[in-house]
């Protein structure tokens, strides 16, 4: 473990923090899904259902909106990351199997009871955006950022899509966590208590939030990857400092994609996630979280066309769940796929469930006690918004 320079707890880079997580055993790698056309129940489907029957109420499966169909079909709850964690806490199951990425499983561990165990099926399901703002990295930058304007009180806000230790860091520095839905409220909370905001890790959500608050002319960007790009004068003049991080899926969308879908579907409405670039948000009809995107399609009139600007699997779910609405992916499978989410393979799900049924735990996600307490404080502050 490494000492933080400006915080009291120790932590480690995520690459090393979960080096105890296990790979899929070879005996599970060739399992296949049921052949629906021939009504053949393949080994994997039968085994998942048998393990769930044996575990009963002792397990709850959470399926993030971006998970593939073969995962969400076995999920007890489907939704966005924080809403799923709350569902797990309410369910009070002994085991929480999170079909998502590492930071989501950490959030579940933070808010569930101590006697609940959180399992992440695959060790490789790690969000690239969360990895763009490691707590040790932010801690090292904090002194430089605060030194650029020592007369100002800077309040750090981290997006939910970050590791637990960064949430803990923000809490210790007087900040909090936000979701894509309440980021504007988190900014207002911070400005009631300080002079500036450091927002991380998603610069696009930060920029879109600044525009929502009419503060788009008071932005500076902190590029941790380029020491020569740091301008102390620019930071001193800005009220909002954006960390240079982004979602690799949402950054791929462009205004040209929206223009193309409008050309191909003149009647289409476009809904996009606020992690998208500013030009995309400006060109869309509706902007919102995965919950908002889902609600838009749920409430659409029969025959309406909606182009979806978020990860491809949610677009596919909405198309499958609402066959009276024409759901169009904004830029296709290759553009919209999240490789980190795809790591939650159904074969991994089969393995961890069968092992739990046999009394063996694998790929347990457990946040260190001090981090857990501080990260919980950051979440509590968010809940006050």
Residue ranges of the annotated binding site for iminosuccinate are 64, 81, 159-161, 180, 273-275, 290
Residues comprising the binding site for [4Fe-4S] cluster? 127, 247, 338
State the Cα torsion 15-16-22-23 to the nearest 10°. Answer: 40
CA 60, distance to chain mean position in Å, is: 19
Neighbours of 383 (CB within 10 A): 9
Residues comprising the binding site? 64, 81, 127, 159-161, 180, 247, 273-275, 290, 338
Length of the chain: 385
Q: Where are the alpha helices (DSSP H) in 18-78?
A: 43-55, 69-72
Backbone phi and psi for residue 302, each to the nearest 5 degrees, phi listed first: -55, 135
DSSP line for 139-176: HHHHHHHHHTSTTS-EEEEEESSS-HHHHHHHHHTT-E
Residues paired with residue 155 on neighbouring β-strands, in sequence order: 197
Q: What is the residue whose two structure tokens read 């169009």? A: 328
Q: What is the residue whose two structure tokens read 């894509």? A: 180
SS3 13: coil
d(CA 159, CA 200): 6
């Amino acid at each position: 473990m490494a000492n933080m320079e400006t915080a009291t707890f120790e932590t480690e880079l995520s690459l090393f923090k979960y080096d105890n997580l296990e790979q899929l055993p070879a005996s599970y790698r060739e399992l296949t899904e049921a052949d629906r056309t021939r009504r053949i129940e393949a080994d994997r489907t039968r085994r998942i259902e048998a393990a769930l029957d044996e575990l009963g109420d002792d397990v709850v499966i959470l399926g993030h909106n971006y998970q593939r169909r073969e995962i969400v079909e076995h999920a007890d709850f489907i939704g966005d990351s924080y809403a799923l964690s709350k569902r797990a806490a309410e369910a009070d199951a002994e085991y929480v199997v999170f079909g998502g990425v590492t930071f989501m499983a950490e959030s579940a561990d933070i808010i569930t009871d101590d006697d609940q165990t959180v399992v992440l099926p695959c060790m490789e399901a790690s969000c690239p955006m969360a990895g763009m703002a490691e707590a040790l990295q932010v801690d090292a930058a904090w002194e430089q950022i605060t030194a650029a304007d020592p007369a100002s009180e800077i309040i750090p806000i981290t997006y939910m899509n970050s590791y637990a230790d960064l949430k803990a860091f923000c809490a210790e520095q007087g900040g909090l966590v936000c979701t894509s839905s309440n980021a504007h409220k988190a900014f207002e909370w911070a400005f009631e208590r300080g002079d500036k905001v450091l927002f991380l890790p998603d610069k696009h959500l930060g920029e879109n939030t600044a525009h929502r608050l009419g503060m788009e002319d008071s932005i500076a960007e902190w590029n941790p990857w380029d020491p020569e790009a740091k301008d102390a004068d620019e930071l001193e003049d800005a009220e909002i400092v954006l960390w240079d991080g982004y979602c690799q899926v949402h950054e791929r969308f462009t205004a040209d994609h929206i223009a193309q879908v409008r050309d191909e579907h003149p009647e289409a409405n476009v809904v996009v996630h606020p992690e998208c670039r500013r030009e995309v948000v400006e060109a869309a009809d509706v902007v919102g979280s995965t919950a908002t995107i889902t609600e838009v399609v749920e409430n659409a009139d029969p025959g309406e066309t909606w182009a979806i600007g978020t990860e491809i699997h949610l677009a596919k779910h909405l198309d499958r769940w609402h066959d009276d609405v024409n759901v169009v992916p904004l830029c296709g499978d290759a553009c919209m796929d999240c490789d980190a989410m795809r790591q939650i393979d159904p074969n991994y799900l089969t393995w961890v469930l069968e092992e739990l049924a046999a009394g063996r735990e694998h790929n347990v996600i457990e946040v260190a006690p001090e981090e857990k307490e501080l990260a919980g404080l950051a979440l509590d502050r968010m809940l006050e918004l």
